[in-house]
Amino acid sequence: MIVKKVFISILFSVLAVAAPSFARQSGEKRVSLDIKQERQVPAFGIKIKFLNVLEDSRCPEGRQCIWAGNAKIRIAVWTGRQKPVVMDVNSTLQPQVVNYGRYEIRLATLDPRPSADNGKPSANHYVATLTVRRLVK
């Protein structure tokens, strides 16, 4: 009985020490990309390219809107020499999250927002910030 309690104590101690390390390994990474820019996600080994903005119906800054609107972008994702997989991701509509293998990709922000004065920004001035998270399996 005592051996069983000691074993369980040791097991919980090991798990308590290992859990934060495991959580850091499967944490999130943020990547900001200009249009047509590609970047490798640090520590994950995948590459992402921001291809273009397909839709930007977000409410202009300084205005009150009934609906927040939506931003939809197209990205390409790949690893190594694999053929890129093209995906669309939205800010408020579905899909807000896309999966590539063991990774989940979400559009965190798209800047700049449309403005009340100038309307939509020029297509080549957008910067997409993506959140990439390793899925725990």
Does a structural domain hold residue 11? Answer: no
Range of the domain at 56: 28-134
Does a structural domain hold residue 5? Answer: no
pTM of the model: 0.76
CATH assignment at residue 48? 2.60.98
Q: What angle do CA 99, 105, 106 make, to 5 degrees?
A: 125
DSSP string, 26-94: T-EEEEEEETT-EEEPTTT-EEEEEEEEEEE-PPPBT---SS---EEEEEEEEETTSPPEEEEEESSSS
Per-residue pLDDT of the chain (137 residues; tens, 9 = 90+): 564 444 445 544 444 444 444 444 458 899 999 999 999 998 899 999 999 999 999 988 888 888 889 999 999 999 999 999 999 999 999 999 999 999 999 999 999 988 777 667 777 789 999 999 998 76
Which three-class secondary structure state does DSSP give residue 112? coil
How many domains is the chain built from? 1
* Residue 50 burial (C-beta neighbours within 10 Å; 0-12, 13-18, 19+): buried
pLDDT of residue 17: 45
